[in-house]
Chain A
Amino acid sequence: MRDFSIGQFLIAATRPLRMFFVVLVVASGLAGVSAPAVAASPAEQFISDNVQRGLTILTNTALSKDQRRTQFQGFLLGLTDIKAISEYTLGQYRRGATPAQLSAYDDAFKDYALAVYQSYFNKFSGQTLNVTGSYPLASDESVVKTVMIDPKKTSANPLQVDFRVANVGGRMAVVDFSVSGVWLRETEKSDFTSFLGQNGGDIGVLTASLKKKTALYK
Chain B
Amino acid sequence: MRNFWKAAAILAALGLSACATAHPDTGGSAANDPYAATNRKIFDFDLKMDGWTLKPTSAAYNRYVPEGIREAAHNVLTNFDLPVTFANDVLQAEPRRAGQTVSRFVVNSTLGVAGLFDVASDFGIPAHTEDFGQTLAVWGVGEGPYLVLPLLGPYPPRDAVGAVVDFLFDPMLYIRMKQHPWWVLGHRYIKLIDVRARNIETLDDIERSSMDYYATTRSLYRQYRAGEIGNGETAPPAP
Contact = CB atoms under 8 A, between A and B. Distances in A.
Interface of A: 21, 24-25, 27-30, 88, 116, 119-120, 135, 137, 143, 154-157, 160, 162, 164, 176, 178, 180-183, 186-187, 189-195, 198, 206, 209-210, 213, 216
B236 A186 contact: yes
Interface stretch (B149-157, B189-197, B218-226): B218-226
A158 to B, nearest CB: 10
Contacts of A162: 236
B123 to A, nearest CB: 6
Q: How large is the interface on B (under 10, 10 to 19, 20 to 34, 35 or more residues)?
A: 35 or more
B185 interface: no
Given A24-B106, A30-B123, A190-B218, 6 more contacts: A21-B111, A28-B96, A119-B205, A120-B205, A143-B235, A189-B28
Nearest to B120: A156
Question: Do most interface residues of chain B lie in helix, strand or loop, or is the interface mixed?
Answer: helix
Nearest to B40: A198
A164 B121 CA distance: 29
B239 interface: yes
Interface string B205-239: 10011111011101110011011101010111101
Interface of B: 27-28, 31, 96, 99-100, 102-103, 106-107, 111, 120-128, 205, 208-212, 214-216, 218-220, 223-224, 226-228, 230, 232, 234-237, 239
A88 B237 CA distance: 13
Nearest to A135: B235
Nearest to B229: A181
A147 to B, nearest CB: 11
A26 to B, nearest CB: 10
Contact of A27 (B99, B215, B237): B99
